[in-house]
């Protein structure tokens, strides 16, 4: 079979097509049309291999499933190669202004080391930074978020999410009996991320799309 030593793959970290080196490989399930062992020699079979490999530039890991089809002793061909990880369709928060990115990175780092309260506080701070960058004024965060909505930066659904992040953040900051669970922190972080992607990343990509089509 075609032993792979490396893969060409789009690395989301490097943001380019890279050469990635294989560090582990394993066989998945095999299915054969053979009815008895005597038939096996010329019966069609289907099989999967799994590869783990690393980007040679940044060490980003990938998991790939390679599907094969063949007849023993005659031929074997790769029918499909699927990148299972990282999930390519995910839109990443990019094009974030520095102050927003600093708060976002801290929220992400907090969550990944199970510091759920700081994760929620930094998520709320992301929203503060967004309001400042977009000149959404008001006497408190609640008013500034409403202003964000009035100025057309977010729609009413995102405004609801933003207020929820603000409220949980407030409780985490002021109520000493309030426990932030992992589930709450993940939701707060995910909704914060979605708001940032909507305001900054997708807006920038859409502008780029429009200018390409001119």
Quick check: 58 binds Zn ion (CB under 5 A)? yes
Quick check: 60 binds Zn ion (CB under 5 A)? yes
Quick check: 92 binds Zn ion (CB under 5 A)? no
Question: Which residue, 17 or 24, is less far from Zn ion as judged by CB?
Answer: 17
Task: Return the residue of 7, 9, 11, 141 that touches Zn ion, per CB under 5 A.
Answer: 11
Quick check: 9 binds Zn ion (CB under 5 A)? no
* C-alpha dihedral (12, 13, 19, 20), degrees to nearest 10: -90
Q: In the complex, what is the shortest distance from the CB of residue 65 to Zn ion, in angstroms, rounded to a whole number?
A: 20
Q: In the complex, what is the shortest distance from the CB of residue 80 to Zn ion, in angstroms, rounded to a whole number?
A: 23
Question: Which residue, 87 or 156, is less far from Zn ion as judged by CB?
Answer: 87
Task: Return the residue of 57, 109, 112, 186 that touches Zn ion, per CB under 5 A.
Answer: 57
Q: In the complex, what is the shortest distance from the CB of residue 109 to Zn ion, in angstroms, rounded to a whole number?
A: 20
Task: Return the residue of 6, 13, 77, 79 that touches Zn ion, per CB under 5 A.
Answer: 13
Quick check: 7 binds Zn ion (CB under 5 A)? no
How deeply is 157 buried, as exposed, middle or buried, from its count of CB atoms within 10 A (0-12, 13-18, 19+)? exposed
Task: Return the residue of 7, 53, 55, 185 that touches Zn ion, per CB under 5 A.
Answer: 55
Q: In the complex, what is the shortest distance from the CB of residue 176 to Zn ion, in angstroms, rounded to a whole number?
A: 43
Quick check: 14 binds Zn ion (CB under 5 A)? yes
CB 154 within 8 A of CB 199: yes
Quick check: 27 binds Zn ion (CB under 5 A)? no
SS3 of the chain: CCCCCEEEEEECCCCEEEEEEEEEEEEEEEEECCCCHHHHHHCCEEEEEEEEEEECCCCCEEEEEEEEEEECCCEEEEEEEEEEECCCCCCCCCCCCHHHHHHHHHHHHHHHCCCHHHHHHHHHHHHHHHHHHCCCCCCCHHHHHHHHHHCCCCCHHHHHHHHHHHHHHHHHHHCCCCCCCHHHHHHHHHHHHHHHHHHHHHHHHHHHHHHHCC
Q: In the complex, what is the shortest distance from the CB of residue 18 to Zn ion, in angstroms, rounded to a whole number?
A: 5
**Binding residues vs Zn ion (CB under 5 A):** 11, 13-14, 55, 57-58, 60
């Amino acid at each position: 079979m075609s032993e792979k030593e490396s893969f060409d793959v789009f690395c989301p970290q490097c943001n380019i097509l890279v050469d990635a080196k294989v560090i582990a490989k394993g066989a998945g399930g095999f299915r054969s049309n053979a009815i008895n062992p005597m038939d096996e020699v010329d019966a069609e079979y289907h099989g999967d291999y799994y590869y783990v490999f690393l980007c040679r530039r940044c060490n980003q890991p990938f998991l790939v499933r390679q599907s094969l089809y063949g007849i023993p002793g005659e031929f074997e061909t790769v029918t499909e190669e699927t990148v299972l990880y990282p999930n390519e369709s995910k839109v990443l928060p990019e094009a974030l202004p520095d102050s927003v990115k600093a708060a976002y990175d801290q929220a992400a780092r907090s969550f990944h080391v199970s510091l759920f309260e700081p994760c929620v506080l930094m998520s709320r701070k992301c929203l503060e930074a967004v309001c400042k960058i977009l000149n959404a004024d008001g006497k408190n965060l609640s008013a500034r978020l409403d202003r964000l909505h009035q100025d057309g930066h977010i729609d009413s659904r995102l405004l609801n999410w933003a207020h929820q992040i603000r409220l949980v953040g407030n409780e985490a900051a002021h109520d000493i009996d309030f426990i932030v669970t992992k589930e709450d922190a993940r939701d707060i972080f995910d909704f914060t991320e979605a708001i940032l992607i909507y305001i900054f990343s997708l807006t920038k990509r859409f502008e780029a799309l429009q200018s390409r089509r001119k």
